[in-house]
Structure 1
Amino acid sequence: MTARKFNAKIDYNPNKEQTGKKESAYCVILPLRCILLKNKNPEAFARFSQLEDHLNERKDTPLYKILGANLLTFIKTVMGFSEWSDEDVLRVAARLDTNAFEVRQVATGQKLRAIYPNAAMISHDCVSNARHTFDAQMHILFIAKQKIAKGEIIATSYTQPLKCTLMRRQHLLQTKCFECTCKRCSDPEELSTFAGAILCSKCKIGKIISTNPLDNAALWKCQLCPHEIPAKQINWGNGAMVKEIESLNKKSPRVFEEFLHRYRDTLHEKNTHVLQVKYALTQLYGNAPGFQMHEMNDAAVKRKVELCQELLDIADILDGGFSIFRGNLLLDLQEALVVQAKREFEQGLLTKTNVQEKLAEAMELLKEAVEIMKLEPDMQEVLKERTQQLADELEME
């Protein structure tokens, strides 16, 4: 059976704009295409077959129990590939889950999964020295975030920098089937950020950290007093925080600020949940309804500046160099600084020379952001517009 016949059978057209609804049949398209490679392109299938699958670790998980009921039936019974064993079909799915990259099409915004066999071999580190992106033709590109010495391992990150060690290691174990032992994961203090720590409810001063961050079940203990908390309770707390943050109104900076205030006695200023909420606030201030840059009062603009500056310090530690995280923060900070400088000049708080200096500072931030983002296809128009706008501001002043 050809791929074209299969596509027609489920009314799927890869060039047709999709509604975003995930039809169950769509989930078998990529596994089926890989299966079809065996006859259509044996060389490509041989390369695909060499990729790690971790099926033994995956097959008893809830997801693979569902796959056993749905994917196997669809591939072997509905599509007629009865000659394939259950294990071989699941192994195809497992290779995809272990090695596939998510690719976002710039033109449509659609998210796709794709296999890049050589790229799948690159190492992981929670504090990486490289990142990947995709060009308009969906070629994968690897970009050094910092200077990489000859012989040094090139590593990207498969997880998010603002997540704490416990959450990152659980995510990596679940999705990539390995337990990370990188420098950050091995450090109970997470490179002095204490991202996974909470404030001690007993002494009110110390932070409660893991006694062994490489053991997800290890006891958690206060640095300053004997108070202890089991890992199970920390896990529960993290889960509760994630759910609460997900439930917040994504169009209201106020509710995110209220979250920070509500948990100020439990979550310190660099806790993973606090950092994620603060990053969300940098996006909301300037973009949310009623909080566009021209609509915000001076206090809100100042708050955006402070949040960006605070998170840039965190980025230097957890996602250093030319990272997308840093690039986004620089763009937001630059925009807020321009608005702040113009308002202070209009209020007589800055001289013409002062405002020129502020705008020049903003231009330097923008130049760095452009350097970071110059290979990101979906950022080109934004960067061009921002650069022209700020250049005009400098010329006018």
Structure 2
Amino acid sequence: MPGTRKHKKSGQKNRHGHTVGSSSDRRCGADALKDGGRPEEGNEAPRDKEEQDIEAGDNLPYVIKTSDVMGRYLVASCDLRPGQLIMSVHPLVVGPPQGCQPLCLGCYKKLDLDDNAYRCEGCGWPMCSQGCSGRGREYGHSGAECQLYERVRPKLLAADSNALTPLYLVVVPLRCLLLQQHDPDKWHSLLTMEAHNDIRQKLPVIWRNNQENVVDRIRKEWGMTQYEEDLIHTICGILEVNAFEVGQEGVSIRALYPCAFYMAHDCVPNTGHTDDKNFQLRVRATTKINKGSSIYLSYAYTLQGTLKRRDHLKESKFFDCTCARCSDATELGTYAGALKCPQCAMGIVVSTAPLNRDADWCCTNDSCTGYTVPARSVRLLMDKIGDEVEALDESSIPTLEAFLTRYQNVLHPNHYHCLGVQHSLCQLYGKAPGFLINDMTEAQLRHKRDLCRQLLKVVDVLEPGYSRLRGVLLYELHAPLMILTTRGVEAHALAYRDLRSRLKEVAACLEESSIILNFEPETSNEGMMGRAAKDALMRVREWQRIITNS
């Protein structure tokens, strides 16, 4: 479904455009909540000077600390304001994500092998063309990589699309291993990352998958016995635990970054990050972070419920999250995983012990007769509804609205399945055929406005401050507000005071949206949205000036 671009460490990607991420088994903390809140207007950071200082290693806004509970983690070395740059780092290695379809190893564009049969002359891997911009480049198909694959060139040339797909699983591990010989400094930096081999060895599915698809392929099928089995497993673990999903303009790859992997997890993050066409990662504070407070990102999709987030973190990131949000059955009052009680009109059903995945769920209404449901039944229901969401026509407003109506007596309005659909509707209203913004009825405009406002209430708790999601929602909110205001003026239905108040709200939405989205890459959808917000803000301020002087 339509949605904002990924903004988490690599891992599970939700169909509304968000991704979730990874790191070690550190316990989650709640410092981010204490430092949270909406940013003040006009707090945009001076980008060039900050980046120059950080890249030069001067005035770093963080220090690395160690504890028995959290391992290595970052804390602020000074008070950080919303939008302030925390780090700007180049990758150690980049490459195809797990489970990808055939793509060019130079520029990472998706390939249809029926239409494009070009293969690298040196090694036989499919590429977009002989003149690929990533050919011979450090973060593309390097000469060292091409030389490594020369011995398996016949096997690669003989592989069709189906046979090639699992072969991409070895690309990034081998790129990591090549660093040992070709860039020792990066190799040593990579080896400081946690692999959790002790935990992963106890997870047969994960360990066996790496053994069969990576280790055995490299050593037995391809004869690259210079790489020890244990070392390859360690590299696989480092990638699973520490990789970020990055990429612009339809490109989706994974990358390892120095320093960024130190950031601990919280289900309410106080940072956000972006990457550019050169895969450079920039991490910024989204809220005020006081000196000495931990710097957090979220390794899970923030708009999912606790059951779903904790299962993901446990299964793929190897730790049990105990942050403030996970510990609260109401998810900080958002009820992002709550159900409606089928036995009473006002009841809300939540877990009796959210840190215990097997605890019963029950109605919180004291006057209810005592509705209780096993956690297993809740998970089955959520999976069933989740499958239904995945099957929805993501471009059909009536279909999405019908889903919300169908489950209005089952799911809390803020349930994560509803939030995903509502988020899609916020972006479809005003853009989808038959629902273009200037053609929408007043009822439809008010509906889009109310959807945006409701989502913002949840986002202000779960992704507070200068988060990308908040920036997009503010931009989406300004449109119905502006059209309703314009129609009110044309119908002579707005008093002078009401007009000023409405324009002030529109300007506030656009101002904060433009600040937040200004941090996004210029060519990304969000970056272009940020420029549009800035242009629209200028027009609204001119209208405000005219009205004030009239």
Q: TM-score, normalised by structure 2?
A: 0.66
- Alpha-carbon shift at residue 175 of structure 1 (Å): 2.3
CA contact under 8 A between 1:10 and 1:25: conserved in structure 2? no
- CA–CA separation in structure 2 for the residues paired with 1:354 and 1:375: 33
| Residue 10 of structure 1: aligned partner | 125
Residue identity matched to 1:161:
T
Greater Cα offset, 153-162 or 80-89: 80-89
Within-5 A mapping of 1:55-70: 55-59=197-201, 60-70=203-213
Question: Which residue number in structure 1 is paired with residue 169 of structure 2?
Answer: 27
Larger proportion of helix: 1
1:330 shift after superposition: 0.4
Q: Unaligned stretches of 5+ in structure 2?
A: 1-104, 107-119, 141-160
Q: How many angstroms apart in 1 are the aligned matches of 2:181 and 2:541?
A: 62
Residue in structure 1 matching 2:224, options 66, 71, 81? 81
Compute the displacement of 1:188 (Å).
1.2
User: Is the contact between residue 507 and residue 540 of structure 2 (CA under 8 Å) also seen in structure 1?
Assistant: no
AA matched with 2:393: N
Aligned mates of 1:248, 1:298 — CA distance in 2? 26
Matched AA of 1:170: D
- The 5 Å alignment of 1:1-397 reads 8-12=123-127, 15=133, 23-59=165-201, 60-105=203-248, 108-224=249-365, 225-351=369-495, 354-355=498-499, 357-377=501-521, 378=524, 379-392=526-539, 395=542
Query: What CA distance in whole angstroms lies between the structure 2 residues aligned with 1:149 and 1:394?
Result: 34
Aligned residue pairs, count:
392
Alpha-carbon distance in structure 2 between the residues aligned to 1:394 and 1:356: 11
Structure 2 residue matching 1:23: 3-state secondary structure: helix
1:2-49, Cα deviation, whole Å (9 max, x unpaired) = x9999733234674699x998333332111100111222233222212
* Unaligned residue ranges in structure 1 (runs of 5+): none
Aligned equivalents of 1:157, 1:353: Cα separation in 2: 43
Q: Which amino acid aligns with 1:149?
A: N
Q: Go from structure 1 to structure 2 and tell me whether the alpha carbon gap of 1:81 and 1:257 turns closer, same or farther (over 3 Å shift).
A: same
**CA shift digits 1:211-238 (9 cap, x unpaired):** 2111112222222343221111111111
Question: For 1:63 and 1:7, how far apart are their aligned partners in 2?
Answer: 33
> Structure 2: how far apart are the matches of 1:139 and 1:7?
29
Relative distance call for 1:381 and 1:6 in structure 2 (3 A) is same
Give the Cα–Cα distance (whole angstroms) in 2 for the partners of residues 24 and 94 of structure 1. 18
Letter aligned with residue 181 of structure 2: N
Q: 1:61 to 1:240 in 2, by over 3 A?
A: farther
SS of aligned partner of 2:274: strand
Distance 1:141-1:198 versus aligned 2 partners, 3 A rule: same
In 2, are the aligned partners of 1:123 and 1:155 still within 8 Å (CA)? yes
User: Is this contact kept in 1: 2:166–2:213, CA < 8 A?
Assistant: no
| RMSD of Structure 2 on Structure 1 (CA) | 2.6
1:337 aligned counterpart, secondary structure = helix
Equivalent position amino acid for 2:527 in 1: Q
Aligned 8 A contact 1:135 1:375 in 2 = no
Structure-2 change in CA distance of 1:84 and 1:312 (3 Å): same
After TM superposition, give the deviation of residue 185 of structure 1 in Å. 0.4
**Which amino acid in 2 is paired with 1:385?**
A
Asked if 2 retains the 8 angstrom alpha-carbon contact of 1:181 and 1:214, the reply is: yes
User: TM-score normalised to the size of structure 1?
Assistant: 0.90
Cα displacement (A) at 1:174: 2.1
> Mean Cα displacement is larger for which, 245-254 or 294-303?
294-303
Provide closer, same or farther for how the CA distance between residues 211 and 360 of structure 1 changes in structure 2, counting only shifts above 3 A. Answer: closer
CA contact (8 A) 2:269 2:296 kept: yes
- Deviation per CA, 1:308-347: give whole Å up to 9, x if none: 1111111121111111111111010012211221122223
**Is contact 1:282-1:332 (8 Å) kept?**
yes
Deviations along 1:37-92, one digit per CA (max 9) or x if unpaired, are: 12222332222122111233334343442332222233113443213333321221
Relative contact order (C-alpha < 8 Å, sep 6+): which is higher?
A: 2
Instruction: Name the residue aligned to 2:9.
Output: none
The 3 A distance-change label for structure 1 pair 353 and 235 is: same
Amino acid at match of 1:80: G
Q: CA deviation at 1:288?
A: 2.1
Q: Which amino acid aligns with 2:483?
A: V
